[in-house]
Amino acid sequence: MTLKSRRGVLLSIPGAALALTSIEAVAEPDRPVPAALNFTMKDIAGADVPLSRFAGKVIVVVNVASFCGNTPQYATLQKLYETYKEKGLVILGFPANEFGKQEPGTNAEIKDFCDAKYRVTFPMFSKVVVKGEGQTPFFKHLTSKETNPKFGGDIEWNFAKFILNRRGEIIGRVPAGKDPASADVVRTIEAALAVRL
Protein backbone atom coordinates (compact mmCIF):
# COMPACT_ATOMS: atom_id res chain seq x y z
CA MET A 1 0.00 0.00 0.00
CA THR A 2 1.44 3.34 -1.03
CA LEU A 3 0.41 6.11 1.33
CA LYS A 4 0.25 9.76 0.47
CA SER A 5 -0.47 12.33 3.17
CA ARG A 6 -2.59 15.40 2.51
CA ARG A 7 -3.16 18.50 4.61
CA GLY A 8 -5.35 18.08 7.67
CA VAL A 9 -8.97 19.03 7.08
CA LEU A 10 -10.40 21.50 9.58
CA LEU A 11 -14.07 20.86 10.27
CA SER A 12 -15.93 23.83 11.75
CA ILE A 13 -18.87 23.70 14.11
CA PRO A 14 -20.38 26.52 16.14
CA GLY A 15 -17.99 27.49 18.89
CA ALA A 16 -15.41 24.81 18.16
CA ALA A 17 -13.25 23.17 15.53
CA LEU A 18 -11.76 19.71 15.27
CA ALA A 19 -8.78 18.95 13.07
CA LEU A 20 -8.99 15.53 11.49
CA THR A 21 -6.15 13.96 9.55
CA SER A 22 -6.86 13.08 5.95
CA ILE A 23 -4.77 10.26 4.48
CA GLU A 24 -5.04 9.05 0.94
CA ALA A 25 -4.10 5.46 0.16
CA VAL A 26 -3.45 4.02 -3.26
CA ALA A 27 -3.77 0.24 -3.41
CA GLU A 28 -1.01 -1.74 -5.06
CA PRO A 29 -2.10 -4.80 -7.02
CA ASP A 30 0.05 -7.18 -4.93
CA ARG A 31 -1.33 -5.87 -1.64
CA PRO A 32 -5.02 -6.66 -1.19
CA VAL A 33 -6.98 -4.74 1.43
CA PRO A 34 -6.69 -6.51 4.81
CA ALA A 35 -9.97 -8.06 5.95
CA ALA A 36 -10.09 -5.92 9.09
CA LEU A 37 -9.86 -2.76 6.99
CA ASN A 38 -12.31 -3.79 4.27
CA PHE A 39 -15.07 -1.61 5.72
CA THR A 40 -16.33 1.89 5.06
CA MET A 41 -17.36 3.96 8.09
CA LYS A 42 -18.72 7.47 8.47
CA ASP A 43 -16.49 10.06 10.10
CA ILE A 44 -17.78 12.36 12.82
CA ALA A 45 -19.02 14.79 10.14
CA GLY A 46 -20.91 12.07 8.26
CA ALA A 47 -18.53 11.54 5.32
CA ASP A 48 -17.72 8.02 4.13
CA VAL A 49 -14.23 6.85 5.10
CA PRO A 50 -12.85 3.58 3.65
CA LEU A 51 -10.75 2.11 6.46
CA SER A 52 -8.39 0.84 3.76
CA ARG A 53 -6.90 4.35 3.67
CA PHE A 54 -5.20 3.50 6.98
CA ALA A 55 -3.51 0.36 5.64
CA GLY A 56 0.22 0.45 6.24
CA LYS A 57 -0.23 2.21 9.58
CA VAL A 58 -0.32 0.84 13.10
CA ILE A 59 -3.90 1.35 14.24
CA VAL A 60 -5.52 1.59 17.66
CA VAL A 61 -9.30 1.23 17.44
CA VAL A 62 -11.19 2.52 20.49
CA ASN A 63 -14.89 2.70 21.36
CA VAL A 64 -15.26 5.98 23.21
CA ALA A 65 -17.79 7.80 25.39
CA SER A 66 -18.02 11.31 26.80
CA PHE A 67 -19.43 10.61 30.26
CA CYS A 68 -17.52 7.58 31.52
CA GLY A 69 -14.95 7.04 34.22
CA ASN A 70 -12.59 6.07 31.40
CA THR A 71 -13.20 9.28 29.42
CA PRO A 72 -9.90 10.86 30.63
CA GLN A 73 -8.19 8.24 28.45
CA TYR A 74 -8.88 10.67 25.60
CA ALA A 75 -5.95 12.73 26.93
CA THR A 76 -3.62 9.72 26.94
CA LEU A 77 -4.74 8.59 23.50
CA GLN A 78 -4.15 12.08 22.14
CA LYS A 79 -0.67 12.12 23.68
CA LEU A 80 0.13 8.73 22.13
CA TYR A 81 -1.08 10.00 18.77
CA GLU A 82 1.04 13.14 18.96
CA THR A 83 4.10 11.12 20.03
CA TYR A 84 3.92 8.41 17.36
CA LYS A 85 1.85 9.70 14.43
CA GLU A 86 4.92 10.67 12.41
CA LYS A 87 6.17 7.08 12.80
CA GLY A 88 2.90 5.69 11.46
CA LEU A 89 0.45 5.41 14.36
CA VAL A 90 -3.20 6.34 13.93
CA ILE A 91 -5.94 6.16 16.55
CA LEU A 92 -9.53 5.71 15.41
CA GLY A 93 -12.24 6.76 17.86
CA PHE A 94 -15.75 5.29 17.59
CA PRO A 95 -18.37 6.77 19.94
CA ALA A 96 -20.87 4.22 21.28
CA ASN A 97 -23.75 4.41 23.74
CA GLU A 98 -24.13 0.74 24.74
CA PHE A 99 -22.50 0.98 28.16
CA GLY A 100 -24.33 2.94 30.81
CA LYS A 101 -25.79 5.26 28.14
CA GLN A 102 -22.61 7.31 28.57
CA GLU A 103 -22.50 8.64 25.00
CA PRO A 104 -25.99 10.14 24.58
CA GLY A 105 -25.06 13.14 22.43
CA THR A 106 -25.23 13.78 18.71
CA ASN A 107 -22.15 13.50 16.54
CA ALA A 108 -21.84 17.30 16.55
CA GLU A 109 -22.00 17.36 20.36
CA ILE A 110 -19.40 14.60 20.61
CA LYS A 111 -17.08 16.48 18.25
CA ASP A 112 -17.54 19.67 20.25
CA PHE A 113 -16.79 17.85 23.51
CA CYS A 114 -13.66 16.15 22.14
CA ASP A 115 -12.22 19.41 20.90
CA ALA A 116 -13.15 21.60 23.85
CA LYS A 117 -12.15 19.15 26.59
CA TYR A 118 -9.27 17.13 25.10
CA ARG A 119 -8.22 18.85 21.84
CA VAL A 120 -8.56 15.57 19.99
CA THR A 121 -6.91 15.56 16.56
CA PHE A 122 -6.94 11.83 15.77
CA PRO A 123 -9.74 10.63 13.44
CA MET A 124 -13.15 10.44 15.09
CA PHE A 125 -16.10 8.60 13.59
CA SER A 126 -19.87 8.80 13.82
CA LYS A 127 -21.59 7.00 16.67
CA VAL A 128 -21.91 3.25 16.10
CA VAL A 129 -23.21 0.15 17.87
CA VAL A 130 -20.29 -1.96 19.11
CA LYS A 131 -22.20 -4.70 20.94
CA GLY A 132 -25.56 -6.41 20.65
CA GLU A 133 -28.43 -5.76 18.26
CA GLY A 134 -27.41 -3.55 15.37
CA GLN A 135 -23.68 -4.08 15.91
CA THR A 136 -21.74 -2.49 13.08
CA PRO A 137 -19.97 -5.06 10.83
CA PHE A 138 -16.54 -3.58 11.59
CA PHE A 139 -16.91 -4.23 15.31
CA LYS A 140 -18.46 -7.62 14.61
CA HIS A 141 -15.26 -8.45 12.74
CA LEU A 142 -13.10 -7.23 15.63
CA THR A 143 -15.02 -9.13 18.29
CA SER A 144 -16.03 -12.36 16.54
CA LYS A 145 -14.07 -15.46 17.50
CA GLU A 146 -14.38 -16.56 13.87
CA THR A 147 -12.54 -13.56 12.47
CA ASN A 148 -10.46 -12.76 15.56
CA PRO A 149 -9.92 -16.05 17.44
CA LYS A 150 -7.14 -14.73 19.67
CA PHE A 151 -8.59 -11.39 20.77
CA GLY A 152 -12.30 -11.75 19.96
CA GLY A 153 -15.11 -11.51 22.51
CA ASP A 154 -17.73 -8.96 23.43
CA ILE A 155 -16.55 -5.46 24.24
CA GLU A 156 -16.80 -5.09 27.99
CA TRP A 157 -17.13 -1.31 28.39
CA ASN A 158 -16.19 2.07 26.95
CA PHE A 159 -12.57 2.48 25.81
CA ALA A 160 -11.80 -1.11 24.85
CA LYS A 161 -8.83 -0.97 22.48
CA PHE A 162 -7.74 -3.15 19.55
CA ILE A 163 -4.23 -2.84 18.09
CA LEU A 164 -3.65 -3.64 14.41
CA ASN A 165 -0.25 -3.87 12.76
CA ARG A 166 0.76 -2.39 9.42
CA ARG A 167 -0.64 -5.45 7.62
CA GLY A 168 -4.06 -4.90 9.19
CA GLU A 169 -3.68 -7.91 11.49
CA ILE A 170 -5.13 -7.69 15.00
CA ILE A 171 -2.14 -8.11 17.31
CA GLY A 172 -3.50 -6.97 20.65
CA ARG A 173 -6.48 -6.03 22.75
CA VAL A 174 -6.32 -3.68 25.72
CA PRO A 175 -9.08 -3.82 28.35
CA ALA A 176 -11.38 -0.82 28.64
CA GLY A 177 -10.09 0.25 32.04
CA LYS A 178 -6.39 -0.08 31.21
CA ASP A 179 -4.33 3.04 30.61
CA PRO A 180 -3.31 3.11 26.92
CA ALA A 181 0.05 4.53 28.00
CA SER A 182 0.85 1.46 30.11
CA ALA A 183 4.36 0.19 29.47
CA ASP A 184 3.28 -3.09 27.85
CA VAL A 185 0.83 -1.32 25.54
CA VAL A 186 3.48 1.18 24.45
CA ARG A 187 5.94 -1.68 23.84
CA THR A 188 3.41 -3.41 21.59
CA ILE A 189 2.82 -0.21 19.63
CA GLU A 190 6.54 0.56 19.30
CA ALA A 191 7.31 -2.99 18.16
CA ALA A 192 4.61 -2.78 15.50
CA LEU A 193 5.84 0.62 14.33
CA ALA A 194 9.38 -0.77 13.97
CA VAL A 195 8.21 -3.24 11.32
CA ARG A 196 8.31 -1.83 7.79
CA LEU A 197 6.32 -3.31 4.91
Residues with active-site annotation? 68
How far from the centroid of its chain's Cα atoms is residue 12's Cα?
A: 21
Beta bridge partners of 90: 59
Q: Across the chain, how many H-helices and E-strands are there?
A: 4, 10
User: 70: how many CB neighbours lie within 10 A of its CB?
Assistant: 20
Instruction: Tell me which DSSP letter residue 107 carries.
Output: H
Amino acid, res. 171: I
- Among residues 163, 190, 189, the alpha carbon closest in space to that of 174 is found at 163
